[in-house]
């Protein structure tokens, strides 16, 4: 793991009048850096976790695939990131982890980007055969996206040279010509295009099915959650409030400036003009995972021998946490009725 934050964020209930609890609860949370972290950032900024006496100790992750073992060992109580093959392998081993909410679902803004000097040479997906393509993890959801794109023209992941790189290192790899292309996520898609490090080539949102594709989720250590059901439910409820703030901002609502500000102040994207210029990844404002997408991801991992056993939908996702949160928060309605953007509805 790189980029350790290990920042203890003071969101104690004792800091808030009228919400003092007997004891604060500290949760260790692993996050893969992305624009979607605005949900956690807004929940922190606006004191949603404070109201439940929850402190967050956050650590940056290169890939959620690397954090599965730490989640199973309860070194993290919560991990937010992509749906990796490691999740399905952990279920096969009966490790104590489970998905509780959607985090990112299409439109997601992911793109298979190419080096600028290949722009006029590679015009068709078939021409990727033999190229060096980067993903952030061997069994990561980015690898699934790459595989699904290749399969549209009869290629497989074995027809390219797969290189594993954190998103933060892909820009350098493009510059050094160590890679020909990569699956890139926001805000890196915008940064690479603005800095002319890479050019968009294949739009994941237009190519990969079924849609909406749920590609990132929140996972919890299920043993911890069973012992601390109130804390787990309260975490999801506070987080979902932040996610809904994000969705209002996504549609140009009243929280737009606040979300841009927390993304900039956190260093997720230091240039606010890019946040205003480019579309953001969507998500379910109710935290609902698209089951068809989950099952397809599971099937693809198994077909490509990245995982083995396959499970029914009810084994893959525990919906009780979002059920509780939605009951507390009520239905979601987009403030900006003029918005025609898909997603976040």
Whether 303 and 218 have beta carbons less than 8 Å apart is answered as no
Q: What is the Cα–Cα distance from 47 to 44, expressed in whole angstroms? A: 5
Give Cα 39 distance to the centre of its chain. 11
Q: What is the Cα–Cα distance from 267 to 261, expressed in whole angstroms? A: 10
For the chain, list the domains and their CATH numbers.
7-106+212-329 (3.40.190.10), 111-207 (3.40.190.10)
Q: How would residue 2 be classed by pLDDT, with cut points 50, 70 and 90? A: very low
Reply yes or no: is the peptide bond before residue 142 cis, omega within 30 of 0: no
Q: Which of 54-63, 131-140, 244-253, 283-292 has the lowest mean pLDDT?
A: 54-63
Whether 295 and 210 have beta carbons less than 8 Å apart is answered as no
Cα→Cα distances 25→9, 11, 94, Å:
12, 10, 27
pLDDT digits (tens, 9 = 90+) for 183-231: 999 989 999 999 999 999 999 999 999 999 999 999 999 999 999 999 9
User: What residues have CB less than 8 Å from 274, skipping those under 6 apart?
Assistant: 187, 190, 191, 194
pLDDT digits (tens, 9 = 90+) for 233-260: 999 999 999 999 999 999 999 999 999 9
* 32 CB-contact burial (10 Å; exposed 0-12 / middle 13-18 / buried 19+): buried
């Amino acid at each position: 793991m790189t980029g350790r934050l290990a920042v203890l964020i003071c969101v104690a209930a004792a800091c808030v009048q009228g919400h003092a609890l007997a004891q604060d609860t500290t949760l260790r949370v692993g996050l893969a850096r992305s624009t979607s972290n605005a949900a956690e950032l807004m929940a922190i900024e606006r004191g949603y976790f404070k109201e439940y006496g929850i402190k967050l100790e956050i650590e940056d992750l290169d890939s959620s695939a690397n954090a599965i073992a730490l989640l199973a060992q309860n070194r993290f109580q919560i991990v937010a990131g992509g749906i990796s093959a490691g999740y399905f392998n952990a279920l096969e081993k009966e490790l104590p982890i489970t998905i509780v909410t959607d985090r990112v679902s299409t439109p997601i803004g992911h793109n298979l980007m190419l080096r600028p000097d290949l722009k006029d040479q590679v015009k068709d997906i078939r021409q990727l055969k033999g190229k060096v393509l980067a993903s952030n993890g061997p069994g990561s959801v980015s690898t699934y996206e790459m595989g699904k794109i290749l399969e549209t023209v009869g290629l497989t992941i074995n027809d390219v040279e797969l290189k594993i790189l954190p998103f933060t290192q892909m820009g350098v790899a493009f510059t050094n010509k160590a890679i020909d292309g990569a699956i890139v996520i926001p805000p890196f898609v915008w940064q690479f295009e603005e800095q002319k490090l890479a050019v968009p080539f294949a739009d994941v949102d237009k190519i990969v099915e079924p849609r909406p594709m749920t590609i990132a989720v929140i996972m919890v250590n299920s043993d911890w959650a069973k012992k601390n059901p109130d804390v787990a439910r309260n975490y999801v409820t506070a987080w979902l409030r932040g996610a809904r703030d994000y969705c209002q901002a996504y549609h140009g609502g009243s929280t737009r400036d606040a979300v841009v500000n927390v993304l900039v102040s956190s260093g997720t994207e230091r240039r606010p003009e890019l946040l205003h210029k480019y579309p953001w990844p969507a998500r379910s404002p109710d935290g609902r995972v698209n089951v068809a997408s989950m099952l397809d991801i599971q099937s693809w991992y198994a077909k490509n021998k990245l995982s083995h056993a396959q499970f029914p939908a009810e084994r893959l996702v525990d919906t009780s946490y979002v059920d509780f949160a939605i009951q507390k928060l009520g239905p979601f309605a987009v403030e900006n009725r003029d918005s025609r953007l898909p997603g976040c509805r």
